[in-house]
Chain A
Amino acid sequence: MSLFEQVGRPLVVWAQDVGAVTLQWWTAIRALPSVMPVVGKRRRWRAVLEQALAIGVRALPMASVMSLCLGFVLALQSAAELRRFGGINFVVDLVAVTFTRELGALITAIAVSGRSASAISAEVGTMVVTEEMDALRVMGLNPAEFTLAPKYLGALIAMPCLTILSTVCGIFAGYVFMAFSVDMDFRVYFRQAFEAILVRDIWLTLIKSVVFATIIVQVGYLNGLRVSGGPAAVGRATTRAVVESTFLVIVADLAATWFFYTMGWSAAG
């Protein structure tokens, strides 16, 4: 195989994947009204709530424990350096800003990716193998309205909620460290933390969480749809869904942070 082919083939596959995800995302957007309250069907809105609870509750313990641990580690590591310059109080600002702008959304996305991308991919893959998707099409029903849209809207509701919770957990872990190391008061800590955070930071992290939710659901769903051959293929699709969605979440985080930085939205004031 020539060098041109070796480079070209993965690029073509990558371009096909990007095209497929984009088309699927557009299909999901068009199907969203059918699962919304008031304008959509009542039964489908119930399915959305079930999905939101499933995605949120499933990732809740993992996301909060990860945030607590990382918040404590971040405070610990930064305190070791800042103490040398007499700036241990800046640990509060560092933890609050890092979690609000970055880690809250990222940790949540990684936790959801590990649990829900695999679950979505396995569920959809099994539906493909057992011909349930074909059954929906033959009934004249749109599979996107039944399977994709409820999961997508559910994730769009659950992810921002989880992100906020994860951020609070991370900042709280910083307080635990400061309380033990310099005996800082709860009210002093949180006043300083809230002064360090801008409302814009919260908006930007919520936007990130929506982007991450989109990546996780669309990648998980697409990998499930591509299952062919039998139950063994479902397992492979599940693994691929987790790996791809985690990778894409981190890449998207970099792109978003770089964009916000370029626009001057990451600077205070």
Chain B
Amino acid sequence: MVLLYDGMERCRVMASSSNEALISVRNVSVSFGSKRVLDNINLDVYRGETLALLGGSGSGKTTLLKQVLGLMKPDTGSIWIHGVDITTCTPSELNTVRRNMGAAFQEAALFNSLSIDANVALPLQELTQLADSTIKLAVWIKLWAVGLADCGRLYPNELSGGMRKRAAIARAMALDPEILVFDEPSAGLDPIVAAGLDELILFLKQTLGITILVVTHSMESAFRIADRLAMLYQGHLIAVDHKDQFVLETHPRIRQFLDRKPDPAPGGERGFMASYLREFQHEH
């Protein structure tokens, strides 16, 4: 209950200081060999808001997410989390910053050798001095919040994809972080489970006042959960806007995303393939 109360308190703080950027990405560029993956990216995520980072496959979304989580360092630029530049800080400072962040990965990234409650308890056991009984209660609260209160004794391979992602969210919330980062939360899930996960993210934001950065390519999910949307295209940030304004964007790539239009097949390739298939069927 203490943990939930902290969240409510945070909501009040959020209301008074919502202009404070908890995540600031400044002039970040990243190249892999000769390929420029991120080009001079500037982005802020403000306290208490949910920002959805959109983009097609290979647009640099996950690379930017890894920069924010401190898993990779940019070639140039800086990333500020809670006022600390994580590109120049020491490993121990980075770990201190990370204790205020939680991340739910695309494949859930639960430890298969541990039960679900042991997965959620792990950060509490390793990073706090809490008594075992308190940890047990905290784990139950987190699992209850994500709707898995009676699944604690199961192992990750005994859960469905949606349940694994919920468990990953419970683990990400274990230390009551101020920032939660999601990588493709609805990827690989059926629409009903994906909608349930969106509801959960909304619940976390509204109840606990957590600042959320979501990387996704699902427009439906992004519009449901986000306050603002940002779009990456070929390593460039082509738009960052409130969702009501985002639908009015005129950039062709954004229109293509919003209207769900495919890329045209290069050089009449599709016509060539069709004629080849017809010929093949005729011969056989």
Contact = CB atoms under 8 A, between A and B. Distances in A.
A124 to B, nearest CB: 13
Given A132-B111, A134-B69, A134-B71, A139 B106 contact: no
Given A43-B125, A132-B109, A132-B111, A138 B103 contact: yes
Contact of A135 (B96, B105, B125, B175): B105
Contact of A140 (B96, B106, B111, B125): B96
Contact of A134 (B96, B105, B171): B105
Given A140-B95, A140-B96, A140-B98, A135 B126 contact: no
B98 A138 contact: yes
Contact of A131 (B95, B96, B105): B105
Contacts, number: 52
B34 to A, nearest CB: 19
A interface bracket (residues with beta carbon within 8 Å of B) = 10 to 19
Contacts of B94: 140
Contacts of A141: 122-123, 126-127
B127 A139 contact: yes
A42 B181 CA distance: 31
Interface in A112-159: 130-132, 134-135, 137-141
A46 to B, nearest CB: 12
A131 B109 contact: yes
B101 interface: yes
Given A130-B109, A131-B107, A135-B109, A140 B127 contact: yes
Contacts of B96: 140
Nearest to A132: B109
Contacts of A131: 105-107, 109
A138 B71 contact: yes
Contacts of B125: 43
B236 interface: no
Nearest to B105: A131
A139 B122 contact: yes
Contacts of A139: 98-99, 122-123, 126-127, 175
Interface of B: 66, 69-71, 94-96, 98-99, 101-103, 105-111, 122-123, 125-127, 171, 175
Interface of A: 41, 43, 130-132, 134-135, 137-141
Nearest first, the 5 closest Cβ-Cβ pairs linking A and B are: A140-B95, A135-B109, A131-B109, A140-B98, A131-B105
8 contacts: A131-B105, A134-B69, A137-B70, A137-B98, A138-B70, A138-B102, A139-B126, A140-B96
